[in-house]
Amino acid sequence: MADSDVEVIVVGGGAAGVAAARRLYDASVRCLILEARSRLGGRALTVTDASGFALDLGCGWLHSADRNPWARVAQEQGAAIDKTPPPWMRPPLETGFPRTDHVAYREALGRFYGRLHEAAQRDADAAAATLLEPGCQWNGLINAVSTYVSGAELDRVSVKDLDRYDDSGINWRIFEGYGFVVSAYGARLPVKFDCPVRAIDRSGKRLLVYTPQGAIAADQVIMAVPTTVLAAGQIAFTPALPEKIAAAHALPLGLDDKFFMSLDGAEEFDKDIRIFGRTDSAATGGYHFRPFGRPMIEAYFGGTLATELEAGGANAFFDFAVTELVNHFGGDFAVRLKPIRVHLWGRDPFALGSYSYARPGFADCRQTLAEPVEGRLFFAGEACSSHDFSTAHGAWETGVAAAEQVIAARSR
């Protein structure tokens, strides 16, 4: 397809952009994805390690799997779906977290979410941290879990937004990798890689999209880039779009990084079991032992801790993980661990974070961001989803919704 034949440009080839472009392509709309990286998938990224295991460095869980469109796509692609319940829905390793303590923590967490739901019904929004029970011994761990859920501690997170998140409680995984499935879904689509969009001018009859590879005209454009990219002003809009940029600032990406380590003698542990580094602090890792039964640990770090570890590079993640695990299992444990892989999402220039949360008072910005402009500039991406934000299936839904809006606009 020549550039002059393009009807719709999709900026960004992550889960949202791929889903949008597939919907357009299937409707015979001539669309083109402009992707800054040399691959599709964005924050859905599967790599293969030296042992041949597919590691998801970005999304790994098919959350709300019973209604998650990527589960259907994975099945159509012949991928193997693992339905083992996730570690956070099962009791953790007793080491360092006795059963009675775990029960007390779960009860405190339940009470916190109860207060959150109640507070979300009030007119005024607030920071979720205001709902922590003063002096509760589990506040540190509840905050640590917030860093895994939102990529940020509760003092930065909107009550209303957090309460709106919808989850069916069914979580599956894809053996071949979530990132693999997302990028394979876009395999037939027209894409220009290594093509970061720098500016979009809609002052003329057609929109002009500027990239280092030249300018391309289109009737409509779907923006499917992370909010961080919009907020950083990486793409200049003419005329300017101050309300969109303000919404993007109100919906920053929290930070979460996965760190994979090999573990000698892993069979000593149950498959798919988790342990927290500690239970009295927000600055702790979640350690998922033997994911898929593999001889490794998938460690998860979020929020301020992840930011600090990124500043130290991959070694800082390993050192921190070893220290926390040695505290539980003794000094000999260190020699059983070897680093495999981490991706620093905060330093990734085309992500600048992991997934979106809303700042207190700004939950409605998700709708503001998703609103089309003049019937020819459309917005997609996980941050545009009011109930499935921060997920790859939320990204899908917003991508398909934007494509449907484009199709409707073209038929007028």
Ligand X SMILES: Cc1cc2nc3c(=O)[nH]c(=O)nc-3n(C[C@H](O)[C@H](O)[C@H](O)COP(=O)(O)OP(=O)(O)OC[C@H]3O[C@@H](n4cnc5c(N)ncnc54)[C@H](O)[C@@H]3O)c2cc1C
Buried/exposed 152-178: b ≥16 CB within 10 Å, e otherwise: bbbebbbbbbbbbbeeeebbbbbebbb
Task: Report in angstroms how near the CB of residue 163 gets to ligand X at its nearest.
Answer: 19
Question: Which of 118, 111, 169, 173 minimizes the C-alpha distance to 142?
Answer: 111
Residue 18: both structure tokens together = 């791929």
Closest to ligand X by CB, 156 or 258? 258
Q: Which amino acid is at 19?
A: A
58/177 with CB nearer ligand X = 58
Alpha carbon of 52 to those of 46, 90, 175, 176: distances in Å? 12, 28, 12, 10
DSSP lists the bridge partners of residue 47 as 55
Shortest separation between residue 17's beta carbon and ligand X, angstroms: 6
> How many C-beta neighbours within 10 Å does residue 212 have?
10
- Compare residues 112 and 165 and give the one whose CB is closer to ligand X: 165
Residue nearest to ligand X (CB): 14
Shortest Å distance, C-beta 335 to ligand X:
27
Binding site for ligand X (CB under 6 A): 11-17, 34-37, 42-44, 58-61, 63, 196-197, 224-226, 229, 234-235, 256-258, 345, 350-351, 354-355, 381-382, 390-393, 395
Of the pair 116, 369, the CB lying nearest ligand X is at: 369
CA distance 360 to 155: 8
Choose between 138 and 237: whose C-beta lies nearer to ligand X.
Answer: 237
Phi, psi of 379 (to 5 degrees): -125, 135
Helix (DSSP H) and strand (DSSP E) numbers for the chain: 12, 21
For the bound state, the minimum distance from the C-beta of residue 62 to ligand X, rounded and expressed in Å, comes to 7
Q: How far is the CB of 321 from ligand X (least distance, A)?
A: 15
For ligand X, the closer CB: 324 or 382: 382
Name the minimum Å distance from CB 20 to ligand X: 9
